[in-house]
Amino acid sequence: MDMELTPERIRWIVQGMIVLLLSVAVHEFGHAYAADRIGDRLPRRQGRVTLNPLAHADPIGTLLLPLLFLASTGGLGFGWGKPVEHTTHDRKRRVYISFAGPAMNVILGTTVAIIHTALLATGVLTFSSPVSGALFYAVMLNFVLFFFNLLPAAPLDGGSVARGLIPRSWLDTWDRIAVYAPFIVMAFILIGPLGRVFTLPARFCASKLYNLLGMIFDNPVLRLVNL
């Protein structure tokens, strides 16, 4: 594995970390904003209803591990933000709060894709430019975060969503199984083929989004994008 820190590699690491920090911040803001909207003021008191990345960054999950992964492999890697605390116990409201984080990643990814397409259509950017590559990366990462976080296993958001939707009579069984859920999550992260469960739908959705935007902006190249 080539570990040489060339200027190109350093630039890619910096871009990747910036994209990850912003994506994690938007994700956690989604949780905090949703809780605040339903009247739970704990996230606001803790300063989490903000898009400031520093309010949501976890030293290990958002900074150290992603940095090491990007530096060693150049890939998407994995990471997490500081969990948003809330006092809501109603199951339906907890589903709303849990789903809001991944939903914000879709919103961010779609917004970046629209801006990216507009910049390409107007000639401000070219496909081969470093900025264009960073924007492609941002779109893909946010769709990956959406599908990954919706895996129905704790401590991911999908675990909370699933627990809020299953019949109450299944809760005891669910909670007993949930003890092993973190090991299942680690398996999806560390075993490459399992990761396709969330990377393949992420690639499909991101590609189709660019194809659609290519038709809207009348860009024949974007119509054929296959991330």
The single residue of 4, 8, 28, 85 carrying the catalytic annotation is: 28
Place of tokens 């690491």: 13
Cα angle for residues 158, 61, 51 (degrees, 5° grid): 75
| Rounded (5°) CA angle 188-189-195 | 55
The H or E element spanning position 134 is helix 130-149
Active-site residue 8, yes or no? no
CB 33 within 8 A of CB 100: yes
Kind and range of the H or E run holding 23? helix 7-37
Question: Between vectors from CA 108 to CA 91 and to CA 11, what angle results, nearest 5°?
Answer: 130
Catalytic positions are 28
